[in-house]
Amino acid sequence: MQTLDETRRKELDDRLNQPLAVGGRTVSTRLWLAPLAGLGNAAYRQVLGEYGGCGLTFTEMCGAKSVPTENPRVSSVFRWSEGELPHLVCQVAGATPEEMIPAARRVQECGFFGFDINMGCSVSGIVKKNAGAGLLRDPDAALRVVEAVRRTISIPLFIKFRTGWSPDIEPAAKLAKQFENAGADCLVFHPRVAPDKRTRPPVRHHIKAIVDAVSIPVFGNGDVITDRDCLEMLETTGCAGVSVGRMAIAQPWLFREWTSDYAPPADRFQDYALRLADALDQHFDPVRALKRFKLFTIYFAANFTFGHALQSRFLGAKSMDDIRNVARNHVHPGMQMVKRPNMNMYNI
């Protein structure tokens, strides 16, 4: 899905391929995978790595209370391949320093590139525990968590956060500066209020307010669908880079496509579905693998004009072999695609 002309694509390539220093470490590109609960699992990241072009990847959201004793061979979220660690950040949700300190220590001991504090998740079960976006209701509590984690680890410290619980950007900009003063190395900002389940567009110019408030790198996030969206976010907000979420699930080759002259092959969608099925079988038991694949189908099917029908076929599968049969028989070159993936499907 290339919408920029050759000159503008070269501008995007040049911006995204500038190495970036984060907490004393260097990241090769400025196009990163956003943390995605249920989707950014080890199997998906394996497939993403095969396509290439992604500067940093993030784990699914891990619970602070679980991480200190979690077994990576058994856990569905605190799981990785050794080869990922030099460019993998572990995202953790917790409400207090007492919860986060042991988790941060474990993440550093495991060899992750960095530690990411989740202050963006607005799922009610997380918010009720004062974790995720719930921390934004109490800036002092949020700062105590950041300060405690910073004292505990030396690896880069990231914070993913939203505007907050009101549309006013000034409190978020003030908090961003406080995060920097507390030792954060990089901020990933999603310019929506916490309760918004993507019913309204992100307020993109709010990213610039965060960028202007701090001297550490700020990555923009939210509704980056095309290469044009990516370049416009960089140009209009001054952000250091872009964090891509849902679109990375729909088209994982976009990282390589937007950072080079790579043109994905005609059979890319079938190839992707089959690669992901194999990777899920490798990393998870059959029941969990099937469930994870079905979560992915919403984003995969959103690429196509008749995506709902394709998704229904996948959802009717009873096994991973059924999934492969659907991919082989119903995903093929020449399928009618939408200009922009169907956002109504994204919001299911």
Looking up residue 47, the CATH number of its domain turns out to be 3.20.20.70
DSSP for residue 220: E
* Whether the Cβ atoms of residue 250 and residue 302 lie closer than 8 Å to each other: yes
Inside any domain, residue 336: yes
Judge if 186 and 152 occupy the same domain. Answer: yes
* Whether the Cβ atoms of residue 22 and residue 217 lie closer than 8 Å to each other: yes
- Span 268-285, average pLDDT: 97
Judge if 252 and 342 occupy the same domain. Answer: no
Q: Tell me: pLDDT of 1 over 70.
A: no
Give pLDDT tens digits for 117-165: 999 998 999 999 999 999 999 999 999 999 999 999 999 999 999 999 9
Inside any domain, residue 40: yes
Q: Is the dihedral of CA 33, 36, 39, 45 positive or negative?
A: positive
* Whether the Cβ atoms of residue 132 and residue 119 lie closer than 8 Å to each other: yes
Judge if 208 and 326 occupy the same domain. Answer: no
Q: Most distant CA pair in the chain: distance in Å?
A: 55
Judge if 152 and 296 occupy the same domain. Answer: no
Judge if 248 and 302 occupy the same domain. Answer: no
Rounded CA-CA distance 162/159 in Å is 10
Catalytic residues: 121
User: 321: which 2 tokens?
Assistant: 């072999």
Q: What is the mean pLDDT of the chain?
A: 95
Listed residues 259, 276, 307: the one ending a domain: 259
Inside any domain, residue 102: yes
Judge if 209 and 315 occupy the same domain. Answer: no
Q: Tell me: pLDDT of 348 over 90.
A: no
Q: What does the CA dihedral 131, 189, 182, 89 come to, rounded to 10 degrees?
A: 70
Listed residues 259, 283, 308: the one ending a domain: 259
User: 107: which 2 tokens?
Assistant: 């993440």
Inside any domain, residue 112: yes
Count of residues making up the chain: 348
- Span 61-81, average pLDDT: 95
Inside any domain, residue 310: yes
Judge if 222 and 297 occupy the same domain. Answer: no
Give pLDDT tens digits for 44-59: 999 999 999 999 999 9
Judge if 253 and 293 occupy the same domain. Answer: no
Inside any domain, residue 108: yes
- Span 267-284, average pLDDT: 97
Give pLDDT tens digits for 76-121: 899 999 999 999 999 999 999 999 999 999 999 999 999 999 999 9
User: 179: which 2 tokens?
Assistant: 């995060």
Judge if 291 and 191 occupy the same domain. Answer: no
Judge if 243 and 296 occupy the same domain. Answer: no
Least Cα distance to 288 among 43, 13, 93 occurs for 43
Domain count, the chain: 2
Rounded CA-CA distance 259/9 in Å is 9
How many other CB atoms sit within 10 Å of the CB of residue 343? 14
Inside any domain, residue 1: no
Rounded CA-CA distance 81/59 in Å is 11
Q: Going along the chain, which residue ranges are E strands?
A: 20-22, 25-27, 31-33, 57-58, 62-63, 88-93, 114-119, 157-164, 186-193, 218-221, 241-244
Listed residues 215, 233, 259: the one ending a domain: 259
pLDDT of residue 347: 46
Judge if 82 and 180 occupy the same domain. Answer: yes
Q: Which residues form the domain of 309?
A: 268-346
Judge if 194 and 311 occupy the same domain. Answer: no
Q: Is the dihedral of CA 212, 21, 94, 153 positive or negative?
A: negative
Rounded CA-CA distance 225/242 in Å is 11
| H or E, element range at 124 | helix 124-127
Inside any domain, residue 195: yes
Rounded CA-CA distance 261/24 in Å is 30
